[in-house]
Structure 1
Amino acid sequence: MMPDTQDPLFQPYSLGSLELPNRIVMPPMTRSRASQPGDVPNDLMAEYYAQRAGAGLIISEGTWISPLGKGYAWTPGIHTPTQVAGWRKVTKAIHAAGGRIFAQLWHVGRLSHISLLDGQAPVSSTALQAEGVNVFIAEGDGKPGFVQASKPRALKLEEIHTIIDEFRQAARNAMAAGFDGVELHAANGYLINQFIDSGANGRSDEYGGSLENRLRFLGEVAQALAEGTGDKGRVGIRLAPLTTLNGCFDDDPETTYIAAAKLLGEIGVGYIHIAEADWDDAPDMPVGFKQRLREVFPGAMIYAGHYNAERARAALREGWADLIGFGRPFVANPDLPERLRTGASLNPHDRDTLFGGDERGLTDYPTLAQSAENLEA
């Protein structure tokens, strides 16, 4: 398809050495369909992602980097040779369909449960429980049951260094599995966020206290991912400056996240992916804040959070965004780019099939062409 010279959503974009045909991103979304035992990516997941290869860039669902990094039932890992081989099937299917995909590397930290960790306590920056935060575990009937996240223990200094090494190895594994790059999940209350935000980090060593110290883990992991991929331009970082999900909050988010963006720019990562708060009555992220992020970070800026085509086009025209993520719409619309291009209506998604299960609610949503065929039949 020739690019639409008038529509900013369909302008090509150079993300480092990777050429994207449009500005539409499929952001990471947990779907909990990995094969058991072993949390292995499978043919069903390969079909799901390949169906959505029309996105300029796909970012995989969060994939945990080590056994202690897992926080939800049936989520895939990128830790074992079997998991890497499973992901290789997925990336091969996407590339065959003409798409591009980054692996989102994930350590949930305190947002886990002892039943998912062979009886061990979750780990965090601080032994501070995420009160009222639920995670889902596998029930006997094969359905997810939600339980309060277990109380974590604080990581020892040497354990922090081990986790940095695990991220580096996960990046190597991702490249071996055929991914085009990696994204660090440093948002939404997960482990990296538990170090960044002042309300979650009570450490008194070099990883806590001052803003510089609270950003140290983020910077060291980002550098490790650059080493693991062999190309810092193939590394992205997901941040959530105003999101108070899962018990994380910061006393001065604008100062903290402008500093984080400046640090990441100095390291030279390819993009920052901002997860905007998207629930009802969520705080709006001021345009001035977005413009300041643009000023201090020379790489690409991706924004996601309740964007429709109109809002996305406005963001691109205003210049503070380079790419826009469409989360929920991609669940039920495998051909979302075509629907956005033509202004076609969107399929609604089925909430009951978001997490766990089979092909229902994953790969059985119709494209525009399939819907037209059904009408003609």
Structure 2
Amino acid sequence: MNHLLDPVQLNNWKLQSKVVMAPMTRSFADNETGIVGKDVVEYYRRRAANGIGLIITEGINPSLRGKGTFGVPGLYTDKQIKAWQKVTDAVHLEGGTIVAQLWHVGRLTHHELTGGYAPQAPSKIKADGLVHRLRKPYESPEQMSFHDIQSVINQYSLAARNAKAAGFDGVEIHGAHGYLIDQFNTNVTNKREDKYGGDLYQRLTFMKEILHAVAKEVGPQNTIIRFSEIKDDLPTFKWDNPEITIKAFIQVFKEIGLKTIHPSTNNFKEVITNEMTLHQLVRKYWDDTIIGVGNLDVDTANNALKEGTIDLAAFGRPILANPDFVQRIKKNKKLTSYNSKNLLKKLY
């Protein structure tokens, strides 16, 4: 039995299947305005028409200063809202459900991408490496003041309100992969001595306040959080104690009243601690909806759904290469292999 194809009622969302389109940076918005065009409308419409249960958009900036590469869309101007409305209308006409992923990169950017502003971070610690696509070294960030922190929280709140106005069914907060929220969560990048720094639970304060602000706008049942051990700029980073870390994260999520969480890993089958994978560890402490991700194949996803480790299964590259992903699974047809040379140059 193919559990991926089962429709499911998830809180307020009636999903066509348990297949999730994972968030993937595409960089096809207008670089100057952050506005998406007809090609983006069609890109998401095709996936909804094919039967994808939940579409999570590419990362969308809540402000210009959150931008980390070229062509990233925004949700902080009226024109951006109106452009996204065309996307959500198209998805809904096909029976789909779509949430906006809000993404602030923090220190992982450059003033050439942010309108001349320096990168922001919890502490004045420069990242190693080169800015994505710009290929220039990361710049030393400004340590965010209390006022800066409140401003960013307000930007998330406004972006969530704008997402609702644009017709999105909900919002996912990108709290993973070494970006701004994750920079606050992590002791390597957060050396603060105020209420936003200190021990693990204190470092989660910034994330908690953003989740509270967003949930106030769209509802906690329509708010998803993506979190992870993975850091894009720190490839060898590991949590000191994964179980204690997960318990602290989940305590925050429960305090906010979230219903759906999205633990992110590159390898779904990788053991993280005590013979448990990331998603098995999360399931130990979380009874509500878990989105599974991590280079999943159809068989692995089905087994995890059957076992109850996850409730929904997210796919990235397979859905880029196969807009008809769900129909291919249904008909047991071979999937087209992902080819970055072709698929990253245009929206297919």
TM-score, normalised to structure 1, is 0.86
Equivalent of residue 35 in structure 1, options 5, 30, 47: 30
Alignment of 1:264-303 (within 5 A): 264-278=253-267, 284-285=271-272, 286-287=275-276, 289-303=278-292
Alignment of 1:1-377 (within 5 A): 6-53=1-48, 54-137=51-134, 146-229=135-218, 231-241=219-229, 243-247=230-234, 249=237, 250-278=239-267, 284-285=271-272, 286-287=275-276, 289-355=278-344, 357=345, 360=346, 362-363=347-348
Amino acid across the alignment from 2:138 = A
Moved more, 346-355 or 35-44: 346-355
Shift of residue 133 of structure 1?
4.2
Q: For structure 1, list consecutive stretches of 5 or more residues without a partner in the other structure.
A: 1-5, 138-145, 364-377
| Aligned residues of 1:69 and 1:106 also touching (Cα < 8 A) | yes
Moved more, 220-229 or 177-186: 220-229
Mapped to 2, the partners of 1:288 and 1:240 lie a distance apart of 12
| Aligned residues of 2:262 and 2:292 also touching (Cα < 8 A) | yes
Structure 1 residues 326 and 288, CA gap change in structure 2 (3 angstroms): closer
Mapped to 2, the partners of 1:203 and 1:305 lie a distance apart of 32
1:77 aligned counterpart, secondary structure = coil
Shift of residue 296 of structure 1?
2.5
Shift of residue 31 of structure 1?
0.6
Aligned length: 342
Structure 1 residues 158 and 354, CA gap change in structure 2 (3 angstroms): farther
Mapped to 1, the partners of 2:277 and 2:101 lie a distance apart of 28
| Aligned residues of 2:176 and 2:231 also touching (Cα < 8 A) | no
1:213-261 superposed Cα distances (whole Å, 9 cap, x missing partner): 11111111111111111x21000000113x2322284433332222102
| Aligned residues of 1:30 and 1:61 also touching (Cα < 8 A) | yes
1:289-327 superposed Cα distances (whole Å, 9 cap, x missing partner): 533422432321001111000100111111110001011
Q: For structure 2, list consecutive stretches of 5 or more residues without a partner in the other structure.
A: none
Mapped to 2, the partners of 1:257 and 1:166 lie a distance apart of 27
2:117 aligned counterpart, secondary structure = coil
TM-score, normalised to structure 2, is 0.93
**CA RMSD of superposed structures (Å):** 1.8
| Aligned residues of 1:60 and 1:101 also touching (Cα < 8 A) | yes
Amino acid across the alignment from 1:44 = D
Shift of residue 96 of structure 1?
1.2
| Aligned residues of 2:243 and 2:281 also touching (Cα < 8 A) | no
Structure 1 residues 36 and 69, CA gap change in structure 2 (3 angstroms): closer
